[in-house]
């Protein structure tokens, strides 16, 4: 490849491209298939904090902008613009659900979650809730789908509030939202 220089991906070029491509909400990353430009030293920690070059990104607007161009492909996370795609690390989930609003009751209940970057999603058939149990400790980690395979870890205070709304159905303790029942734990685990 004589005469061609490979562009090194960096946060500044991604932010500029993302700003130009997005119109205030998540960008249409599902429509973009740019060439892979390498991995970026960027990581999203379990608590939702974004790091670049080992330092937390302190500007909320920049984090929100990056969160609008995240994409999941083959179990790997990328930041994608129309012209470049760079790999990033995600410790657990790319988002954290920090609050929710419940409306209605029982089967008519609707749970609307808000993420730490301002996304809102209503749990239902297209945005399921799931609970993963740590194989060593048994500690539950609840998630809700935000968009396009991207989940939010539901924070502890919200999870405790959700448990208060839970019901038993067909041997499972779980939640109703959007006309669907989401099993969280076998009822027998809660007895005794």
Burial 25-48 (b: 16+ CB within 10 A, else e): ebbebeebeeeebeebebbbeeeb
pTM, to two decimals = 0.87
Cα atoms found within 13 Å of the Cα of residue 46, Cβ hemisphere only: 5
For the segment 89-115, the average pLDDT, to the nearest whole number, is 96
Report CA dihedral (69, 72, 73, 75) to the nearest 10 degrees. 150
Q: Under a CB-based contact definition with an 8 Å cutoff, are residues 152 and 115 in contact?
A: yes
Looking at every residue in the chain, the average pLDDT score rounds to 89
Within the chain, residue ranges assigned H as helices are 11-21, 60-67, 156-165, 187-190
Mean pLDDT of 115-123: 96
Q: CA–CA distance from 89 to each of 93, 139, 164 (Å)?
A: 10, 23, 34
pLDDT at 22: 59
3-state class (DSSP) for residue 24:
coil
Q: Which residues contact 70 (CB under 8 A, 6 or more apart)?
A: 29, 77, 78, 79, 80, 88, 94, 150
The predicted-structure confidence for 142-184, as pLDDT tens digits, reads as follows 999 999 899 999 999 999 999 999 999 999 999 999 999 999 9
- Tell me the C-alpha to C-alpha distance, in Å, between residue 90 and each of 56, 76, 94, 162: 14, 9, 6, 25
What's the pLDDT band for 187 if we cut at 50, 70, 90? confident
């Amino acid at each position: 490849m004589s005469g061609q220089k490979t562009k090194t991906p960096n946060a500044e070029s991604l932010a500029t491209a993302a700003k130009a491509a997005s119109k205030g909400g998540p960008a249409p990353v599902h429509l973009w298939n740019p060439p892979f430009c390498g991995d970026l030293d960027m990581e999203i920690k379990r608590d939702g904090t974004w790091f670049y070059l080992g330092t937390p990104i302190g500007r909320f607007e920049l984090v929100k902008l990056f969160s609008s161009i995240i994409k999941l492909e083959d179990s790997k996370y990328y930041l994608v613009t129309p012209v470049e795609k760079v790999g990033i690390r995600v410790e657990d989930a790319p988002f954290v659900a920090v609050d929710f609003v419940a409306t209605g009751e029982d089967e008519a209940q609707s749970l609307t979650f808000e993420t730490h970057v301002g996304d809102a999603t209503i749990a239902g058939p297209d945005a399921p809730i799931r609970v993963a149990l740590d194989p060593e400790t048994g500690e539950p980690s609840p998630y809700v789908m935000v968009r396009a395979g991207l989940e939010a870890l539901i924070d502890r205070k919200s999870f405790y509030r959700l448990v208060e709304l839970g019901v038993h159905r067909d041997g499972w303790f779980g939640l109703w939202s959007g006309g669907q029942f989401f099993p969280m734990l076998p009822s027998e685990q809660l007895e005794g």
